[in-house]
Amino acid sequence: MALPTHAHYVVIGGGIIGCSTAYHLAKDHKADVLLLEQGQLTSGSTWHAAGLVGQLRSSASITRVLKYSVDLYKGLEAETGLATGWKMTGCLRLATNQDRWTEFKRLATTAKSFGMDMQLISPAEVKRMWPLMDVSDLVGASWLPTDGQASPSDITQSLAKGARMHGAKIVEGVRVTGFEMDGSRIVKVKTTQGDIACDTVINCAGQWARQVGAMAGINVPLQPVKHQYIITEKVAGLASDAPTIRDPDRRIYFKEEVGGLVMGGYEPNPQAWTTGLAGGDVPDEWEFRLFDDDFDHFEQHMTQAMIRIPELENVGVKQMINGPESFTPDGNFILGSAPECANMFVGAGFNAFGIASGGGAGWVLAQWAVDGEAPLDLWTVDIRRFSGLHRDRDWVRERTLEAYGKHYTIGYPHEEYDSGRPAIVSPLYERLKAHGAVFGSKLGWERPNWFAPEGGGKDVYSMGRQNWFDAVGREHAHVRDKVGVFDQSSFAKYQLRGKDAQKALDWICANDVAKPAGRLTYTQLLNTRGGIESDLTVARLADDLFYIVTGTGFRTHDLGWIADHIDAGLDATLSDVTEQFGTLSLMGPEARRVLEKVTAADVSNVAFPFGHVREIDIAGHLVRALRVTYVGELGWELHIPINATGDVFDALMQAGKPYDIRPVGYRALESLRLEKGYRAWGSDITPNDTPFEAGLGWAVKLKKDTDFLGRKAAQAAIGQQPAKRFAGFTVDDPNVVLVGRETILRDGVPVGYLTSGGYGYTVGKNIGYGYVRHDGGVSDAFLHSGTYKLVVAMETVAATLHMEPLYDPKAERVKA
């Protein structure tokens, strides 16, 4: 096919993701789409993928994406006439220890929360389903009957044919060599066969996606890793419909293939693919190519496989596949709108989930590119979860190899990565270490999670109460009773300046930020569906200057969302000032007494009420003080010139000695906010949830005659009974551990699942939050007329519903 000179959408890459995206653009949106492949379709990493198709992930939205893939693969052959090799064999996941078994019980609960039937079965049942397996070391297994396997090349060719059937053009043997830019927009794709004018580019270039992105100034933080598996000769007694096997404690997987087995694994000492090319680039010429066999490195998997299936000792190896797979620093794939470029979308870095994800990823990526916003909550895979740190190739490689090594390890709650640390520290890092801080990391920032009383503490992970539980309880009580100081310097901070700054924010923010200088506003940013894309604090410092504060992990996302929605022509300049300010949160009933001793400013309730911002002097430095709290106590966020953070911290600690001031960590912050019922974006509130469903309708300015993004959808919700509502639950049983995604039962019927969970030390109970769902609407009467229980790791426990905060400092009492 001759190369067109123009296409509305140009998809780069002819693997499963690119072909699926082109298929959905053409079929669902009747789009003018051109797919470019530098070699032949599937010739990158798709052709040598193992082809396992699992569906369950910890995110409901990503599970939905994977379930969509299965549904698509089931019917694709009938649509296109090309087989996909799809077999719904089901998948067994094996557990050989109690921690793994607890993980599986939680996974099975999550599956049921998401509408999937994962069963837990005995070793004897595993033996019946897989007679060749040695089950002597098993505690049990999980069984998901709707998982399966497929032929990656066949699925891709079938998707490509479907794309062509719906009008897409696919041209092979064309390499992208660069882009012609107009500011931050791509206007032409440059190729080895000429230029193509375009409106939108979708980068699905697989292991080349980083290099393709770099041509447009875009960072795609992925790392190709060598991944090996073998294909055996025929195995006597192996059924053609044998379930796929994941044996995570032995780090291996199996699937049946033409009478033999495909067997591979995820080793703790993976090998990155780096080359002598500039920056370790992947060579352009890598069509249908593999690395040399490395049996020495693979021996660790072979040894484990022969223990699990002794018959393998008598079976020959027909072929070893040793090829590159693209992995990412957090083990999640990469989708979405690149923050550095106005019209490039990315679908890459699938961490060996490319075949399982391919159908669904193409569906949502196509919708995203057409609408300009994600069709559902895809935060866990959004490219905007990364930051400038992820431009460091060495850091990305080191962290990605750690993530690869964790592919099959037990997923303990609150587990932290160890590699590449410390990357970013606040000026208080050494001071906090001296106080016994045990650090975690968030977007590269070292942050104190808790403080070990004798110093030298570290996290000891478990499936039950972890070793920091009591220490965090003491920190929590200290903030409730006295005063604590939190180092929150990692907060993302922006400034919006210009005569049209308020006008820009009027459109972007759901709440009313048109307040006088000196006031601050909690607000959500809504999408066109009325879903919550972000929540943050906006402080007005002057008529033409706003200071915006949001969570550490949302730095790139929120900055991009605001920038994307400032109307062209407005005098409003947005800048990221995160590193210019340290942040100390002074919280607790004694906070005012401490603050009074370090500033001449009047910080009385009359002079400095809640929801206000003042610039005050502390230790000779001008500090932006925000009267706001995320813990439910009297307090201030103090935003300090970064180099003065240590001076202000020292002054607070000295002044606070009579009140026993102490530094406090993020795990206490979490338990404090749970008691107060504050919602956390990314878990409790997401783009799938509206303010009215979340109980935050009070923060939407519908009474003002001001248009804003999402107003139409918000207006339509007024007077309607929502089909889901945010609610709190407590569990008295002290042995229960809530982590989120536990199923909510109302009168024995599943009505939703927890979005977050933890422990409230003041109320002395486990606390969980989630949405109660009912197609007929969730009224107050419906909520309060039911009896509630939670399914926790497949065990049913009694729960109490709460629609108000559990902790109320003004009433000096708790509700439980």
Domains of the chain listed by start with CATH number? 6-85+150-223+330-385 (3.50.50.60), 91-146+226-322 (3.30.9.10), 581-659 (3.30.1360.120), 708-814 (2.40.30.110)
**Could you tell me where the DSSP H helices lie in 482-569?**
501-508, 555-564
The per-residue pLDDT for 816 is 36
pTM for the model stands at: 0.96
Strand partners, 538: 521, 548
509 secondary structure, DSSP code: B
Query: What is the model's pLDDT at position 756?
Result: 97
pLDDT of residue 811: 53
Which residues of the chain are under the pLDDT cut of 50?
812-816
pLDDT on residue 740: 95
**In the Cβ-directed half-sphere of 226, how many Cα atoms lie within 13 Å?**
19
pLDDT for the residue 731? 98
What are the b/e assignments for 773-803, b being 16+ CB within 10 Å?
A: bbeeebeeebbeebebbbbbbbeebebebbe
Dihedral of CA atoms 428, 429, 434, 436 in degrees, nearest 10, equals 110
> Which pLDDT value is given to residue 456?
82
Q: Which residue has the tokens 């300015």?
A: 701
DSSP per-residue letters across 135-152: -TT-SEEEEETT-EE--H
Residue 49 confidence (pLDDT): 80
Distance between first and last Cα of the chain: 69
Helix-helix angle 469-481:666-676, to 10 degrees: 60
pLDDT of 278 reads 75
How far, CA to CA in Å, does 688 sit from each of 536, 556, 680, 741?
17, 20, 14, 16
